[in-house]
Chain A
Amino acid sequence: MEVSNLSDQDSVVIIGLEVHIQLTNLKTKLFCSCSNDYRNTEPNTYVCPICLGLPGSLPVINEKTIDFATRLALALECDINHQFWFFRKNYHYPDLPKGFQISQYNKAGGKAFADGGKITVRLNNHKKDIKLNRIHLEEDPARLVHKGSIASSPFTLVDYNRSGVCLIEIVTEPVISSPEEAREFLKQLKSIVQYTGISNLELEGSVRVDANISIKGHDRSEVKNINSFREVERALRHEIIRQKNAIKRGKVLIQETRHWDDKRKITISLRSKEFEEDYRYFPEQDLGPIEIDDKFIQDVKEYLPEMPTERALRLRREYMLSEFDSENLVLDKRIADFYEAGANADPTFGSKEYKQYCNWLMNNISGWLNEHNLTIDKTNLSPKQIGDLIKYIREGKITSKIAKSFIEDIMQGTSVSQIIKERGRTRLSDENIIKKTCKDVIEENPLIVSDFFKNSKALEALIGRVMAKTKGQADPNLTREIMSDLLKNN
Chain B
Amino acid sequence: MKLFDYMGYEIIEKIKSREITILDLIQSTFDMIESTDHILHSFVSLSKKNAFKKAKEYDLSLKKGKNIGRLYGLPLANKDLICIKGFPTTCASKILEGYISPYNAFVIDRLLHQEGAIHIGNTNMDEFAMGGSTENSCYGPTYNPWDISRVPGGSSGGSAAAVSSGQSIFALGSDTGGSVRCPAAFCGVVGLKPTYGRVSRYGLIAFANSLDQIGPITKCVYDSALMLEIISGKDPLDSTSVDLNIDKYTEEIKKPIEKKIIGVPKEFFGEGIDKEVMGSINKSIKKLESLGASIVEISIPHLEYTIATYYLLCMCEASSNLARYDGLRYGKVSTDPSNDVYDAFSKTRGENFGPEVRRRIYLGTYALSAGYYNMFYIKALKVRSLIRRDFIEAFKKCDSLVCPTMPSTAFKVGSLIEDPLEMYTQDILTCSVNLAGIPALSIPCGFDSNNLPIGFQIIGDYFDEKGILNIGYQLEQELGIFRKTPPLISGGK
Chain A residues at the B interface, C-beta cutoff of 8 Å = 49, 52-61, 88, 90, 92-94, 97-100, 108-109, 156, 158, 278, 280, 282, 285-288
Contacts and interface: CB of A to CB of B under 8 A. Distances in A.
B369 interface: yes
A255 B222 CA distance: 65
B237 A280 contact: no
A59 B319 CA distance: 18
A98 B324 contact: yes
Interface of B: 81-83, 89, 91, 96, 99, 101-103, 105, 201-206, 209-210, 236-240, 316-317, 319-320, 322-326, 328-330, 341-342, 345, 365, 368-370, 373-374, 377-378
A90 B320 contact: yes
B103 A61 contact: no
Nearest to A285: B210
A93 B202 CA distance: 25
B323 A282 contact: no
Contacts of A55: 83, 89, 91, 96, 99, 101, 205-206, 324
B328 A282 contact: no
Contacts of A97: 324, 329
Contacts of B103: 49, 54, 56-57
A277 B261 CA distance: 54
A238 to B, nearest CB: 28
A99 B205 contact: no
For B210, B322, B324, B378, which residue has the most chain A Cβ atoms within 10 angstroms? B324
Contacts of A94: 328, 341
B345 A287 contact: no
Contact of B240 (A88, A98, A280, A288): A288
A152 to B, nearest CB: 15
A56 B205 contact: yes
A60 B369 contact: no
Contact of A280 (B99, B203, B373): B373
Contacts of A282: 316, 320, 368, 373, 377
Contact of B239 (A88, A92, A287): A287
Main secondary structure of the interface of B (DSSP, over half): loop
Given A98-B323, A99-B320, A286 B240 contact: yes
A100 B370 CA distance: 16
A64 to B, nearest CB: 15
B316 A53 contact: no
24 contacts: A53-B324, A54-B101, A54-B103, A54-B330, A55-B91, A55-B99, A55-B206, A56-B81, A56-B202, A56-B203, A56-B205, A57-B203, A58-B239, A94-B341, A97-B324, A98-B323, A99-B325, A280-B365, A280-B369, A280-B373, A285-B240, A287-B239, A288-B239, A288-B240
A105 to B, nearest CB: 11
For B238, B317, B373, which residue has the most chain A Cβ atoms within 10 angstroms? B373
A144 to B, nearest CB: 10
A58 B202 contact: yes
B105 A56 contact: yes
Contacts of B373: 108, 280, 282
A60 B210 contact: no
A93 B374 CA distance: 26
A168 B374 CA distance: 28
A60 B105 contact: no
Contact of A88 (B320, B345, B365): B320
Contact of A54 (B102, B238, B378): B102
Contacts of A99: 320, 322-326
Contacts of A61: 239
Contact of A92 (B316, B317, B326): B326
B341 A100 contact: no
A60 B239 contact: yes
Contact of A56 (B204, B240, B370, B378): B204
Contacts of B345: 92
Contacts of A278: 369-370
Contacts of B365: 280
A287 B329 CA distance: 24
A52 B101 CA distance: 12
A120 B15 CA distance: 76
Nearest to B373: A108
A90 B324 CA distance: 10
A251 B430 CA distance: 61
For A53, A54, A56, A90, which residue has the most chain B Cβ atoms within 10 angstroms? A56
Contact of A285 (B204, B209, B374, B378): B209
Contacts of B342: 92
B392 to A, nearest CB: 19
For B239, B329, B368, which residue has the most chain A Cβ atoms within 10 angstroms? B239
A262 B209 CA distance: 41
Contacts of A56: 81-83, 89, 101, 103, 105, 202-206
Given A282-B377, A285-B210, A100 B239 contact: no
Contacts of B377: 282
Given A99-B320, A282-B320, A90 B368 contact: yes
A59 B317 CA distance: 16
Contact of A108 (B89, B203, B204, B378): B378
A89 to B, nearest CB: 10
Contacts of A100: 320, 323
Contacts of B105: 56
A5 B83 CA distance: 68
Given A49-B102, A280-B368, A282-B377, 7 more contacts: A56-B81, A56-B202, A58-B202, A58-B237, A99-B326, A100-B320, A285-B210
A369 B370 CA distance: 52
Given A49-B102, A108-B378, A58 B210 contact: no
For A57, A60, A109, which residue has the most chain B Cβ atoms within 10 angstroms? A57
10 interchain residue pairs of minimum CB distance: A99-B323, A280-B368, A285-B210, A55-B205, A56-B203, A56-B83, A56-B205, A99-B324, A98-B324, A278-B370
